[in-house]
Structure 1
């Protein structure tokens, strides 16, 4: 059921602008579309879709506007809120669930009605009046758990990520622009043990390896897949185009534009 007559809004703590999901959040897409990628799987969201974005996952988003508009509902379920909820509403969460970064929720009338119920509390600035914020978050979480009790295993798992295969993880996720502290956390290590294990595996420091790995990937994309420099530098984890061009020339001896120009001239 498509939700109408409400604009973008947000309840709960702000979500991180990083490519790292620090808190679970409920996402309802109202207008426009979105494609997300977590290093393993691509997720496509269309207007009217509901999903749970899961904490401690890496995700890159691409948003597509509809007539210059992209509207969504985001409701954050941070750990302090979830712990208080669990005290008020004891819940069994022994079930297991897959490790997808996005868990899609089946469309149903209760959720659509909940979204519509936000309209009276909407203050016109993408937020809901604080007086009602936790009440509405309680309401939504009760609806979600009733619709799919297995979601309790997602929401109420407060443990840190377990120690995992560092080599496999880094080769899959090197494109994500996050801090070394985040990489260490997601692989179940302290920063010092992450650096030590990393050197033992790759015989290089994380920063050097990430830079070279990202630049090699950029070179491949530019030379083999005909992508533009402006399309590539963000995709491989660089924040700044000029820094990317400088690092690229330092590693390969020519700029990205010289590579693509020379290729097109042949």
Structure 2
């Protein structure tokens, strides 16, 4: 239940909201062309998409693209009111304030093939101070004008670009300007030889791990771990014969980040170490 609600508009559109919710509460995100930054000022919320839940404790935040939404948040602490500050990003307003060129965070990342639609941001001191600054304007609404709000919008974009989550936030936010929905297979094939795991691939497809595994089994008739390892080993075998690259470099290029694990996996499949395999094949 909402027990307090305040809102600040920019160019006639909702920009900043402060909501105090009494548990139990639940909010479903509509599918719309906007993105939201939700900061947990007090209490704790749980973000649910598909059959997966992510806890957002106090001073943590969630960045969400509502184009691929249908997700929801609800409280996970029944004893404490939830206080949430929401900053909304409208693509038309962002284009208006960045007339010459969109900042890097809003541009389509190079070689990024992902349907990722959300990202949890850990406790960040600068973002915490930014939120404290927004609260000042809720307490002093007479000081608000469009110029100040434009600066605050640009400030949060700058802060988000400096967080450890900047790369994934860019994927989520850039979809407002270059919307693209990739097929499941496109995402798998594009990331097959990168150093990503099953959980990373699930996030890129915007699915929970369990749903990702079910979808993967339908399409490939195999488990993700086995299929990915097989493809990586087969590529490594080809590179051992087609190039003089170091074995360490080949392992890295094929998605392995541990040489000992690569050597063991290769031996299990081909009955020889990478070095032996290269020598044996070259002497035939």
Structure-2-length-normalised TM-score: 0.46
Higher strand share: 2
Structure-1-length-normalised TM-score: 0.48
